Amino acid sequence: MKKNIVLVFLVLMIAFSFISEGIASAAAKGKLIVAQGAETTTLDPHKGGSAIFVNVCITMYDLLIRRDREGKQRLALATSYKNIDPVTWEFKLRKGVKFQNGEPFTSRDVKFSYDRMRDPKTKYPFRVFYRGIQEVQIIDDYTVRVITKKPDPVLLSRLAFGAFIVPEKYIKEHGDEYFAKHPIGSGRYKFVKWAKNDYVELEANENYWGDRPATIKKLVFKTIPETGSRLAALQTGEVDIATNAPPFMISKLEKNPKIKVVSGPSGRVIFIGFNLTKPEKAGPLMNKKVRQALNYAVDKQSLIKYVLMGSGEQLATPLIPQAFGYDPNIKPYPYDPEKAKKLLKEAGYPNGFETQFATGSGRYLMDKQIAEAIVGMLDKVGIKAKLKICEWGEYEKVRKSHKVEPLYLLGWGNTMSDADGTLVPLFFSKSRYSNYVNPTLDKMMMEARYQMDPEKRKGQYSEILKLIKDEAPWIFLYQQRDNYGVRDTVANFKQSAGSERMDCDVLRLAK
């Protein structure tokens, strides 16, 4: 019997060592593999609605204008643009561009694409960003005009975000369903294979109009939802880039000399909102001094250093530095518990008060732990906050009905990198997500929304942000940082500041 067990073990050993030869770094063969935590649900660029989907589409499809990794807008399929009047934008288009099936790109494709994504029947989740477009006009083969319903200073950002250009003739000939299975774009990479729930494989488009990263022949997006498994695949060399490395894994990953963790500020703001829509429930929080006191009572630097292990950057206002309208001259509330106590005393609450505080768990980086730490900090100035931890789906429901607890922890991503996209949804009194009512602020935000002069607009947002900071409808906390695990096979990985977007098509392999 004993002999048999030894024999079985030996056979297994040999078998293992035999098959393990097959596992070698893919990068050697001109292949780059990127592991993301979720799958793109579609390759039709007007049907998906997630950052993961955008990351895949941006490599296959072009846009008139692109946002680069530094956050700047660069011309892509457009060669120039100008405003004829505040609502009319004229774009000159690049000549000689071909779709991956050989079809030439013209203004007809732009009109077709923009009409398609705006059509409710297409069910484009990002349609909301384009509903301000009135119509798209073809002037000649290489000139189009986009006419908006109202002046829209954010239009270029919108077009750079998800207004992908698709081939009109091809889709009209073959239909939407066929197109989703055999997608054709004009981007740096073209479609090869989609093994659903596993990976999307692309190959370099030899006829791309711009410069091509010649070292990469194949680009693969792999789906590995479990964080531990995703990072294990990075360590074994099965993938070259892995997204969302949690802060506590950074030092472990970096012990491997072939792995580097690249981090940078994401587009996500984390804050504690005050529900001020129900004065009887909000109680003391209706008083501005109390709200300011809470801002002084929370030590954001410690939260970032000890709870987030460095994966955050303190913010003075709701706006991240990468967004249009940010004002670096507005400084955050410092940590000052004495000042907090003084303000509470002035407001008539020398002994503090009791309140409720809600948070989700596992939605944002260390969200529950952050909330728990804040409860402790508030306790030091006499405020007893009772913490309630909610299931996310339930939390979403409550939060949107203005029935959420007086204090609630939440995150917000700034999709367009523009002040309007953060401030209006979160502070405009009629917005679903706003739990704050201030007619003066409403008026200021609506004025800035339609201001076409960037300098004037910047000034308007500066005033708005000063008002918001003073009124303190939130405890302003921080901006999360994103951490990517990257192997040394990749030459030029860079985190896009203020965004979850990865521009994988511009990556190169290391020599």
Partner 1 sequence: MQRYLIKRSFQSLIVILGITVIVFMILHLTGDPTDLLLPPEAGPEERELLRHELGLDKPIYVQYLEYIKNICHGDFGQSFRYQTPAFSVVMGALPATIELTMAAMILSIVVALPIGIISAIRPRSYYDTLGMTFALLGQSIPVYWAGLMLILLFAVTLGWLPSTGRGGIKHLILPAVTLGMFSTAAIARFTRSSMIDVLDADYIRTARIKGLSEHIVVLKHAFKNASIPVLTMTSLQFGRMLSGAVITETIFSWPGVGRIAVQAIYNRDFPVVQTVVLVASVIFVGINFMVDIIYTYLDPRIKYT
Q: Tell me the closest approach of the beta carbon of residue 416 to partner 1, in angstroms.
A: 9
CB 57 within 8 A of CB 160: no
Beta carbons within 10 angstroms of residue 370's beta carbon: 24
Figure out which of the listed residues 25, 26, 30, 41 binds partner 1, where binding follows CB under 8 A.
41
Figure out which of the listed residues 17, 257, 351, 439 binds partner 1, where binding follows CB under 8 A.
17
Residue whose tokens read 């007086």: 406
Q: Give the per-residue contact string, 410-449, with partner 1 (x = CB under 8 A; - = no).
A: --x--x-----x---x------xx----------------
CB 80 within 8 A of CB 73: no
Give the footprint of partner 1 on residues 195-224 (CB under 8 A).
195-199, 222-224
Q: Give the per-residue contact string, 244-283, with partner 1 (x = CB under 8 A; - = no).
A: ----------------------------------------
Interface region with partner 1, contact rule CB under 8 A, candidates 16-24, 135-143, 361-369, 490-498: 16-24
Angle at 361 between CA 358 and CA 367, to 5 degrees: 80
Residue whose tokens read 């996310």: 392
CB 59 within 8 A of CB 179: no
Q: Which lies closer to partner 1 via its Cβ, residue 42 or residue 369?
A: 42
**Tokens found for residue 100:** 């991956």
Q: Tell me the closest approach of the beta carbon of residue 125 to partner 1, in angstroms.
A: 5
Residue 63 gets the label, from left (phi > 0), alpha (psi -120 to 50) or beta, of beta
Rounded alpha-carbon distances, angstroms, from residue 283 to 34, 280, 357: 50, 6, 13
Burial of residue 137, with CB atoms counted within 10 A of its CB: 0-12 exposed, 13-18 middle, 19 or more buried: middle
Q: Is 362 in the site for partner 1 (CB under 8 A)?
A: no
Q: Is 132 in the site for partner 1 (CB under 8 A)?
A: no
Q: Which lies closer to partner 1 via its Cβ, residue 126 or residue 170?
A: 126
Figure out which of the listed residues 129, 208, 296, 326 binds partner 1, where binding follows CB under 8 A.
129
Torsion of CA 479, 485, 487, 489, to 10 degrees: -50
Give the C-alpha separation, 383 to 386, whole Å: 10
CB 167 within 8 A of CB 101: yes
Q: Is 20 in the site for partner 1 (CB under 8 A)?
A: yes
Residue whose tokens read 């460095």: 310
**Size of residue set near partner 1 by CB under 8 A:** 54
Q: Which lies closer to partner 1 via its Cβ, residue 225 or residue 454?
A: 225
**What is the contact surface with partner 1 in residues (CB under 8 A)?**
1, 16-17, 19-20, 22-23, 38-39, 41-42, 44, 47, 49, 120-121, 123, 125-129, 131, 177, 180, 195-199, 222-226, 228-230, 232-233, 235-236, 238, 393-394, 396-397, 400, 412, 415, 421, 425, 432-433
